[in-house]
């Protein structure tokens, strides 16, 4: 017998399970009372008190500012170099060993290098974020440009588009869906790097907040900070998904393909 469960019902199941998990956490935390695992209610309570305060919001804003700066720089470089490498086989082959190697370096390893070159402040952080953001964008841009159809390339030749013109007027728009997907991945990485870069050096920011709360053994606040970070990541991801869908739609129509 086939049982049709509505979409709402399915979502409800997920929510119920989630609530149950929270409930178990709460019950266990209250009974055992482990210092390191505060009840969910305590975390929520503290969060409700801390999150709306100006101090906290200013701290978050500082992190977001760094993220924005590093993201713009990193993505800009990634797209520019990606367009060059995607459109010319020779350029790609020449730059490939260097980019593949640089890409494999965990961005954390760049932190000490950045500290030596730029000190312990925001310049260092933005540089690290830019470095980390650059590569996913680069890789996706190259992929997007390479995926441009041979017909589009031939058309560009036939219509006498200069190579510069070709890159901006054909390859870039054609690769845009791929590029935006890369930007979405890069944002998540960028957020990660903001937090990591704030673990070291001086200054403010969400990462520093989490670390500080830990050092002060303010456990509920620490959990709250981590959760807020997760929330931030979720919101940013959703925003970019929306952007991605719009770019894709403008490419191919809401149906996701050419009309029959």
Partner 1 sequence: MRGINQTGIVRRVQGVVKRVNLAGWLFVVLVAGLLEAAVRLFELQDSLPASSATLRALAHGILSGTLPGELRTTLESYAEGFALAIVGGVVLGVAIGSSRTLLDASSVVIEFLRPIPAVALIPLAILFFGVGIPMRRFLIAYAALWPILINTLYGVRGTDRVLHDVAETSGVTRVGRAVRVTLPAALPSIATGIRVSASIALLVGVTAEFVIGTDGIGSYMQRQQLAYQLPELYAALVLIGLLGYAINVVLRATEQRVVFWVGEERMAGR
Partner 2 sequence: MIASAPAVLRVAQLGKRYSSEGPAALSGVSFDVAEGELLAVVGPSGCGKTTLLRLLCGLTPPSDGAVLFNGRPVLRPPREFALVFQDYSRSLFPWLSVLRNVMFSLRGVGLPKAERVVRAETVLEELGLHGVARKYPWELSGGMQQRVALGRALVSRPEILLLDEPFASVDALTRAELQDVLLRVHGSTEGRRVTIVHVTHDIDEAVYLADRVLILSPAPGHVVRSIEVGLARPRAQTATRSSPRFLAVRNEIHVVIAARQE
Considering only the stretches 54-62, 146-154, 225-233, 244-252, report the one whose residues sit in contact with partner 1 under the rule CB under 8 A. Answer: 225-233
Among 90, 101, 160, 164, interactor with partner 2 by CB under 8 A: 160
Q: Does 90 bind partner 1 (CB under 8 A)?
A: yes
Burial of 135 from C-beta contacts in 10 A (0-12 / 13-18 / 19+) = buried
Which 107-146 residues touch partner 1, going by CB under 8 A?
A: 107-113, 115-117
- Token pair of 74, please? 């990193």
Q: What is the DSSP string of 133-202?
A: HHHHHHHHHHHHHHTS-HHHHHHHHHTT--HHHHIIIIIHHHHHHHHHHHHHHHHHHHHHHHHHHHHSSS
CB 238 within 8 A of CB 56: no
Among residues 229, 225, 214, 232, which one has the least CA distance to residue 36? 214
Considering only the stretches 100-108, 193-201, 219-227, 251-259, report the one whose residues sit in contact with partner 2 under the rule CB under 8 A. Answer: 251-259
The entry of partner 2, partner 1, none near residue 159 (CB within 5 to 8 angstroms by kind) is partner 2
Rg (CA), the chain: 23
Q: Does 96 bind partner 1 (CB under 8 A)?
A: yes
Among 176, 200, 223, 225, interactor with partner 2 by CB under 8 A: 176
Q: How far is the CB of 166 from partner 2 (least distance, A)?
A: 12
Phi-psi region of 149 (alpha: psi -120 to 50; beta: other; left: phi over 0): beta
Give the residues lining the site for partner 1 (CB under 8 A).
10-11, 13-18, 21, 36, 90, 93-98, 100-113, 115-117, 188, 191-192, 195-196, 199-200, 207, 210-211, 213-214, 219, 222-223, 225-227, 229-234, 237
Give the residues lining the site for partner 2 (CB under 8 A).
149-152, 154-155, 157-161, 170, 173-174, 176, 250-253, 257-260
């Amino acid at each position: 017998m086939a049982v049709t469960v509505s979409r709402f019902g399915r979502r409800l199941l997920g929510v119920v399970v989630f609530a149950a998990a929270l409930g178990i956490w709460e019950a266990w935390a209250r009974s055992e009372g482990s210092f390191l695992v505060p009840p969910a209610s305590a975390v929520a309570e503290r969060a409700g008190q801390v999150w709306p305060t100006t101090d906290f919001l200013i701290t978050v804003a500082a992190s977001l500012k760094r993220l924005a700066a590093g993201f713009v720089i990193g993505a800009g470089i990634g797209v520019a170099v990606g367009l060059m490498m995607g459109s010319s086989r020779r350029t790609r082959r020449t730059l490939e060993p260097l980019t593949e190697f640089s890409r494999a370096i965990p961005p954390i390893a760049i932190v000490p290098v950045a500290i030596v070159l730029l000190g312990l402040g925001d310049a260092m952080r933005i540089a690290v974020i830019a470095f980390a953001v650059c590569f996913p964008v680069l890789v996706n841009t190259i992929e997007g440009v390479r995926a441009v159809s041979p017909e589009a390339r031939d058309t560009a030749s036939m219509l006498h588009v200069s190579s510069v013109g070709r890159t901006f007027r054909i390859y870039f728009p054609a690769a845009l869906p791929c590029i935006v997907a890369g930007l979405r991945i890069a944002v998540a990485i960028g957020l990660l790097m903001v937090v990591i870069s704030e673990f070291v050096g001086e200054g403010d920011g969400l990462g520093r907040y989490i670390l500080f709360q830990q050092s002060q053994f303010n456990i509920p606040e620490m959990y709250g900070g981590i959760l807020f970070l997760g929330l931030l990541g979720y919101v940013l991801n959703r925003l970019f998904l929306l952007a991605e869908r719009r770019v894709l739609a403008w490419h191919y129509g809401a149906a996701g393909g050419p009309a029959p």
